[in-house]
Amino acid sequence: MRMLVSFAVALALSTGTPALLHAQSGAAPAAEKKAEQPAKKATRNVSGTVRSASADTIVVSGRDKGKDVEWTFAIEPNTNIRKGSKSIVAGDLKPGDAVQVRYLERDGKAMAESILVKGPRKDTKK
């Protein structure tokens, strides 16, 4: 009898108990954990020229896929705006400034994460 009980316990441990214990512990399989994590929003970059700027928006014109386009970006208090090595505010942006804007789409709006004002072009040809 004792041998039969030992065999039953050994059989139970080797067949399904580890999976059962894993399921009862509340640990989710790796595939479920991935699905639970929110998707990371991809940032995008555009380069162009400032058409207009205010404290909370900037309009940039440029080219996308061979066509002239305009983008409007929302500026938040945490938007990093730099000209060279200096931090500036949106009010310092002037029409005609060449900029690179890093942004992401949130709630249907393009939200600027950072704006880099590029220096004047240096022509190497003479």
**CA–centroid distance for 89 within its chain:** 23
Average pLDDT over residues 79-97: 94
Q: Tell the CATH superfamily of the 44-117 domain.
A: Copper binding periplasmic protein CusF (2.40.50.320)
Better-scored residue on pLDDT, 12 or 68: 68
> Is 53 a residue whose pLDDT tops 90?
yes
> Is 2 a residue whose pLDDT tops 70?
no
pLDDT band at residue 119 using 50, 70 and 90 as cut-offs: confident
The pTM of the full predicted model, rounded to 2 decimals, is 0.63
User: Cα Rg for the chain, rounded, in angstroms?
Assistant: 29
Residues contacting residue 96 through CB under 8 Å, at least 6 positions apart: 49, 50
Q: What is the rounded CA–CA span in Å between residue 120 and residue 65? A: 24
- Inter-axis angle of helices 17-24 and 2-15, nearest 10: 60
Better-scored residue on pLDDT, 78 or 13: 78
Chain segment 91-110, per-residue pLDDT in tens:
899 999 999 999 999 999 99
Q: What is the rounded CA–CA span in Å between residue 98 and residue 86? A: 16
